[in-house]
């Protein structure tokens, strides 16, 4: 069974730009969660989608948004990038939600200059 894939793996942007990250979950998984990982803060929960609906959201500004498609693939968008947005963005899929085992992708390393 193919694992969670994330594209792109690396991204360099400048302040003020916007970025879209993509996540393809494991086949059959309907829940997709997004996390931001930084050395100082660890993994911070961004949001979780299940069957195209956002079920939960973390404490991030409105510049961070996401969506999920009917095939469970998910995208995350960050607008008006700031230097502090530089991080590893991880996507995790599961059968039913955060209480189940999370299968993580390798992440997208975003650098904002």
Write the DSSP symbol of residue 48: E
> Among 29, 76, 107, 112, which residue interacts with other proteins (rule: CB under 8 A)?
107
The window from 11-19, 65-73, 79-87, 89-97 that contacts other proteins (CB under 8 A) reads: 89-97
State the nearest-atom distance from the C-beta of 77 to other proteins, in Å.
Answer: 20
Asked whether the beta carbons of 89 and 81 are under 8 A apart, the reply is no
Q: Kindly tell me the sign of the dihedral angle through the C-alpha atoms of 85, 67, 42, 10.
A: negative
Q: Which two tokens stand for residue 101?
A: 């085992």
- Convert residues 15-54 into a mask of x (bound to other proteins by CB under 8 A) and - (unbound): ------------------x-x----xxxxxx--x------
Q: Dihedrals φ, ψ of 103, to 5°? A: -105, 115
Stretch touching other proteins by CB under 8 A, among 12-20, 67-75, 77-85, 90-98:
90-98
Residue (of 105, 108, 99, 110) closest to 2 by Cα position = 105
- Positions that interact with other proteins (CB under 8 A): 4, 33, 35, 40-45, 48, 55-56, 58, 90, 92, 97-99, 101-107
């Amino acid at each position: 069974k193919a694992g969670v894939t994330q594209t792109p793996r690396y991204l360099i942007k400048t302040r003020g730009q916007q970025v879209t990250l993509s996540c393809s979950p494991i086949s059959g998984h309907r829940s997709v969660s997004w996390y931001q990982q930084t050395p100082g803060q660890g993994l911070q929960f961004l949001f979780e989608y299940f069957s195209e609906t956002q079920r939960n959201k973390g404490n991030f500004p409105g510049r961070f948004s996401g969506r999920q498609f009917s095939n469970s693939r998910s995208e995350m968008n960050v607008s008006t990038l700031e230097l502090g947005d530089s991080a590893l963005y991880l996507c995790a899929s599961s059968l039913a939600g955060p209480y189940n085992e999370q299968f993580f992708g390798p992440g997208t390393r975003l650098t904002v200059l």
